[in-house]
Structure 1
Amino acid sequence: MPHDAKPITSVWTRPQRPQREHLTREQIVTATIELLDAEGVEALSMRKLGTRLEAGATSLYRHVANRDELIQLAVDDVFGELDPPVAATRGTWRTAVSRVAADLRAMVLRHTWVGPELGQVGLLHVGPNAVRVTSGLLAQFRAAGFPAGEDDRAAGALMAYVVGIATSEAAYLSLIARSGVSEREWLSAHGPDSGEEGDEGEETDPQQVREDRFAYGLDRILDGLAARLAPGGDGDPRPTGR
């Protein structure tokens, strides 16, 4: 690194300053998430957040350097809503991974702003809650029999599917929320698949349709990953010729 280059800093490595006022980083992050949930990323500014906290922007800058750091902290905080990963064992990896996937989808749907932001947060800025989740996933894939390197690819494939479909689903639900009607009413008026019916001609719950579609895609992802292992999902991954 050139002697005059500035070192890369991160909100996770910078020590917190001694508290000199009632406002804390935790309060700032909580208010940030509330604002993001209510109005979206575009509405977030240091000035607007300061007004919400009845504090000046200067007070916020004592805890975070800029708006980007606020979002990094908020992203990691919502990762803290996910349950700790269960202990990794070879025979239960698929069940455990499915639970993490379902929990992650639910979190993205609760916080519709978070999906697009996950692609913006680089590895340097990953916080402890996100590390806990990703480390737990890696442990599950290693226990299943994936070696180091392939376990990371397996976890990446799973996360890409879950975050991708949940982000699309969250955008769809946000559109409906802005319309002021229910999902069933919106589908009846707009969707080519509106008024989807069950096997006996009965109209189905659109939320259940979304749940089933997510579960179907998740099962196919896990089927593909399990096929890399010996029969039964145990043993070493099968060779790919590469």
Structure 2
Amino acid sequence: MPRDTLTRDQIVQTAVELLDEEGLDGLNMRSLGKRLGTVATAVYWHVKNKDDLVLLAGDHVWHEVELPDPAAVDWRTAATTMAGSLHAMLSRHPWLVQAFGSYLFYGPGKARHDDHNLAVFEAAGFQGVAADRAAAAVFTYVLGNVLGMAALDSLSKRLSRTGKNPEEVIQDVMGKARAVAMDFPRLRTRLDTPSADYNAAPEHTFEYGLRALLDGLEAALRRDPAPAALS
């Protein structure tokens, strides 16, 4: 693709696709240029470097999170929808979870999400810092639920790049972990359940935890109809 027909939007969208397939370590200007049908130097006319590109790609995918209107649905429905959509977005793009440890993300995509998230909890009755705390509690819960998946994705890609079979490596480790678990009664009873798989949890664990968290926030609203900042 000639430089004069290349756009930043095309570069960012292609970078997202490459990141999804190869992870953070698999993104470089040469591979991106090849995928775009141009040379790496043409990409530099639109983005500064790889770090700049990761920031742009990261903000781009925040636009995928659904933002239900808190005036059209109750606050719990809106909060549940946003949390579920955020979980799905981070699951589609595990490299973003990994990048949180190395990049400071900002931009209109993330700001759009954060502003709307606060609006949902303000609609519920939380005020000021209390709304910030409620929004942060739900966000960190969602993030914690995708960390294991993101770590496994990163591990699998790293093993593949070294020529190893990720499934074989994980199965070997899990065999050793099962042997250790035999000495622990509660773990031993779960060895033949889905929970025994690597990074596994029972079905609907995310929904169960989110519901429990929102139950707690709703109980706080009942105790204090207009919770504000704690002293």
Same fold (TM over 0.5): yes
Task: After TM superposition, list the pairs within 5 Å mapping 1:62-211 onto structure 2.
Answer: 62-83=45-66, 85-89=67-71, 92-122=74-104, 125-172=105-152, 179-180=166-167, 193-196=190-193, 209-211=201-203
Change (3 A) 1:187 1:108: farther
Letter aligned with residue 167 of structure 1:
L
The size of the alignment, in residue pairs, is: 211
Within 2, Cα distance between the matches of 1:159 and 1:186? 34
Alignment-derived partner of residue 31 in structure 1: 14
The TM-score normalised by the length of structure 2 is 0.76
What is the CA deviation profile of residues 30-78 of structure 1, one whole-angstrom value per residue up to 9, with x for unaligned ones? 2111111111101211222122222222211111111111111111221
Change (3 A) 1:150 1:215: same
SS at match of 2:70: coil
Change (3 A) 1:68 1:214: same
TM superposition shift of 1:171: 2.5
Within 2, Cα distance between the matches of 1:208 and 1:93? 30
TM superposition shift of 1:230: 2.1
Within 1, Cα distance between the matches of 2:214 and 2:73? 14
Q: 1:58 aligns with which of 33, 36, 41?
A: 41
Contiguous gaps of at least 5 residues in structure 2? 158-164, 179-186
The TM-score normalised by the length of structure 1 is 0.73
Q: Is the 8 A contact 2:148 2:199 kept in 1?
A: no
Alignment-derived partner of residue 22 in structure 1: 5
Within 2, Cα distance between the matches of 1:219 and 1:187? 33
* Aligned residues: CA RMSD: 3.4
Alignment-derived partner of residue 30 in structure 2: 47
Pair 1:222 & 2:214 matched: yes
Contiguous gaps of at least 5 residues in structure 1? 1-18, 198-202
Letter aligned with residue 86 of structure 2:
L
Within 2, Cα distance between the matches of 1:92 and 1:229? 14
Greater share of helix = 2
Q: Is the 8 A contact 1:146 1:236 kept in 2?
A: yes
Within 1, Cα distance between the matches of 2:19 and 2:209? 29
TM superposition shift of 1:180: 4.3
Within 2, Cα distance between the matches of 1:149 and 1:43? 40
Q: Is the 8 A contact 2:55 2:103 kept in 1?
A: yes
Within 2, Cα distance between the matches of 1:145 and 1:115? 30
Within 2, Cα distance between the matches of 1:81 and 1:211? 25
Letter aligned with residue 221 of structure 2:
L
Within 2, Cα distance between the matches of 1:230 and 1:91? 19
Task: After TM superposition, list the pairs within 5 Å mapping 1:226-237 onto structure 2.
Answer: 226-230=218-222, 235-237=225-227
Within 2, Cα distance between the matches of 1:151 and 1:120? 27
